[in-house]
A and B are shown apart, each in its own frame.
Chain A
Amino acid sequence: MAEPAEPAQAADAAPVTRSDRSPWNWLLLIPIVIPLLTPLYNQVAPRLWGFPKFYWLQFLFIVVGVATTTLVYQMTKRPTPATPPAPPASRAAVSSDE
């Protein structure tokens, strides 16, 4: 069984009121909304390497999605429980503030 190594310590390290709130999360709306706006990309011209705009632009949205989720992940990640909580003091402050 994968029992936690030091449950007591981990529980102490966790702040009493935890939260996923972060202003960075609002960025996630960009890759959700943009791909749903068909007028943005429902055209043939201009073509890129033979691909009509409909296709290359939607492929580009994948890149936008990856960039956004990566950024939000980096900005909101918690320190991994295994590592000693040395830097997380500042991190916790960032992620718990509104």
Chain B
Amino acid sequence: MSEHITEIVIFTVLFLLVSGMGFVAARWRAPENMAHLDEWGLGGRSFGGWITWFLIGGDLYTAYTFVAVPALMFGAGAAGFFAVPYTVIIYPMLFLILIRLWSVSHRHGFVTPADFVRTRFDSPTLALLVAITGIVATMPYIALQLVGIEAVLKTMGVTGESAIARHLPIIIAFAILAAYTYQSGLRAPALIAFVKDTLIYLVIIVAIIYLPYKLGGWGHIFDAADKKFTASPAPTDGIILNANNQVQYVTLALGSALALFLYPHSITGVLASRNRNVIKRNMSALPAYSLLLGLIALLGYAAIASAVKPLPGTKTGSVDSNTVVPLLFDQQFPSWFAGIAFAAIGIGALVPAAIMSIAAANLFTRNIYKEYIKPDATNAQEANVSKITSLVVKLGAVLFIIFLDPQFSIDLQLIGGVVILQTAPSVGLGLYTRWLHRGGLIAGWVAGMSLGLWMLYDIANPATGRKHFGGSAFPLSDFGFDTKKTIYVGFVAVLVNLLVAVIVTLILRATKTPAGIDGTAPDDYFADEGDPRLEKARTTTETLASST
């Protein structure tokens, strides 16, 4: 531990500095009245271009991403690079969709995607499904941020014998995080994101110049990776894709792109922006982070060239591949700079963890508490329930990490991506058409969810010796096709979801089952800053007409 003392000191100082900012954030752009979910949970819906860029960037490109993507490259090669096409296609895909979501939410005061579904399809049940899906998908994601911090702490030698001692630094870090999120709401991660991203950009720019210089150039780094994959017995690795994993590569990129915007925390970031132009402008500015992510991914190869040996995992005989990037920094950088790099990853975990817990808390408050427990809750009560729920959510994430194998969180996050994708027909298509019947959407959700979970359960991973939940690449031969090709589970599941939704919709229409009243008007989807807002989300066409 002593040889890491410089790193630990720098890490701690930067971490505390940022925590201080988190508390001060409550006074940043402070409203007169914080006791409203729009203020605590959406930062007053007032963020401009720069803040939104840092906030969404800090939100989508998490510490876990920065640790896990290079780990994937380290282990599997080119297949891990899907993160780049994934984050290229997402912005043009979302360009038109998100401004519609922003507009309708602005007009009706929606805080969560489930709020929208509730009003659009006149179905509290469907909204509840969307809300629960969101919470279930987000929880393991928060836990994974802790895995990111833990990889850094482990590399610095901050470990202990008992489970509690080993996790004490994380418990402290999360307690601080919980306290300032409770106090400052979305303003805290928005302010911290500035520091986090500045640090990350600094570290990566230095890394991509300095590491090739020390390791003999990029050409040599790729050659080293190629040599490792050629030597390994696994048939799926390599520095380019092979005949069997290209479909997986493409469907995973496409499915992940669709899933990302459905995650409650991305929607929270989008709804917090001030107007439509802020969102559009960000769709062309956010790919700067994709460039960063691609470069970070290549650090996995740099780790191969640097002959990094991942630290052992919690179980004997296993390795924790998430430690490859921290170890690479530890080996190659002078210790003061490694300390800054570790702080960047650690702080990088705080921003998304805060936004995710706020998003999950908002879902609980709006779509469970207000819908089923206390329908007449005031704005102040809503804000208060959300604040408390955000604490509970973080506590849950910490308990996950302390008492369960971290692998369990990784599995759950894998499941989370497939699960959240099942809300695409109601949230995504719902923004464009109300043709699908609420009953059809519920049936589709059930079908997609069941199929997706079954497929994930079915996937074995020979490399890690696991029989179930071994990954997201489903062998098409299990469907009876005579091929070795694999496909992304979420993609298949959402197609089946959609198919079932269409069929059930046709049946329900034939039987004249009521489809409920659409609480939104066509023009709501084009509303912009300065347009009149409807105070209550639960509107009918009459109140809409009278207030405009």
Contacts and interface: CB of A to CB of B under 8 A. Distances in A.
Interface in A34-73: 35-36, 38, 42-44, 47, 49-52, 54-55, 58-59, 61-62, 64-66, 68-70, 72-73
Nearest to B280: A73
A66 B87 CA distance: 11
Interface residues of A, number: 51
Between B32, B240, B281, B298, the greatest number of chain A beta carbons within 10 A of the residue's beta carbon is seen for: B240
B526 A10 contact: no
B530 A59 contact: no
Contact of A58 (B99, B277, B294, B529): B294
A65 B239 CA distance: 24
Contacts, number: 153
Contact of A20 (B33, B78, B100, B250): B100
A47 to B, nearest CB: 7
A62 B294 contact: yes
With a 10 A CB-CB cut-off, give which of A20, A30, A65 has the most chain B CB atoms.
A65
Interface of A: 1-2, 4-7, 10-11, 14, 16-20, 25, 28-32, 35-36, 38, 42-44, 47, 49-52, 54-55, 58-59, 61-62, 64-66, 68-70, 72-73, 76-78, 80-82
A59 B294 contact: yes
A54 B287 CA distance: 18
Contact of B91 (A10, A30, A58, A65): A65
Contacts of B194: none
Contacts of B365: none
Interface stretch (B219-227, B310-318, B355-363, B538-546): B219-227
Given A54-B239, A65-B92, 16 more contacts: A10-B530, A11-B532, A11-B548, A20-B96, A28-B93, A35-B88, A50-B217, A54-B78, A59-B84, A59-B291, A62-B84, A65-B290, A66-B288, A69-B280, A73-B277, A81-B275
Contacts of A30: 92
B283 A31 contact: no
Chain B contact surface mostly: helix
Contacts of A82: 530
Given A31-B88, A62-B287, A43 B528 contact: no
Nearest to A82: B530
Contact of B526 (A20, A32, A54, A81): A20
B41 to A, nearest CB: 14
A82 B218 CA distance: 49
Contact of B283 (A20, A50, A55, A73): A73
Given A4-B532, A14-B531, A69-B91, A35 B85 contact: yes
Interface in B236-268: 239-241, 246, 249-250, 253-254
B532 A7 contact: yes
A56 to B, nearest CB: 10
Contacts of A58: 81, 84-85, 88, 294
Contacts of A17: 523
A19 to B, nearest CB: 7
Nearest to A80: B277
Contacts of B78: 54
B159 to A, nearest CB: 35
A52 B240 CA distance: 9
What 5 pairs between A and B have smallest CB-CB spacing? A50-B219, A50-B218, A81-B530, A35-B85, A69-B284
Contacts of A49: 218-219
Given A36-B85, A50-B220, A50-B222, A69 B95 contact: yes
A28 B221 CA distance: 35
23 contacts: A1-B32, A2-B45, A7-B530, A10-B530, A11-B532, A18-B523, A20-B100, A31-B88, A32-B93, A35-B89, A42-B241, A49-B219, A50-B212, A50-B222, A54-B78, A55-B81, A55-B222, A55-B298, A58-B84, A61-B84, A65-B287, A69-B92, A81-B275
Interface residues on B, range: 35 or more
A3 B452 CA distance: 44
Contacts of B246: 38, 42
B57 interface: no
Among B38, B253, B530, find the residue whose CB has the most chain A CB atoms closer than 10 A. B530
Given A14-B531, A59-B291, A36 B240 contact: no
B509 to A, nearest CB: 28
A54 B275 contact: no
Contacts of A47: 219, 222
A4 to B, nearest CB: 4
For B89, B221, B290, the residue with the greatest tally of chain A CB atoms inside 10 Å of its CB is B89
A55 B302 CA distance: 14
A52 B309 CA distance: 25
B101 to A, nearest CB: 12
B392 to A, nearest CB: 28
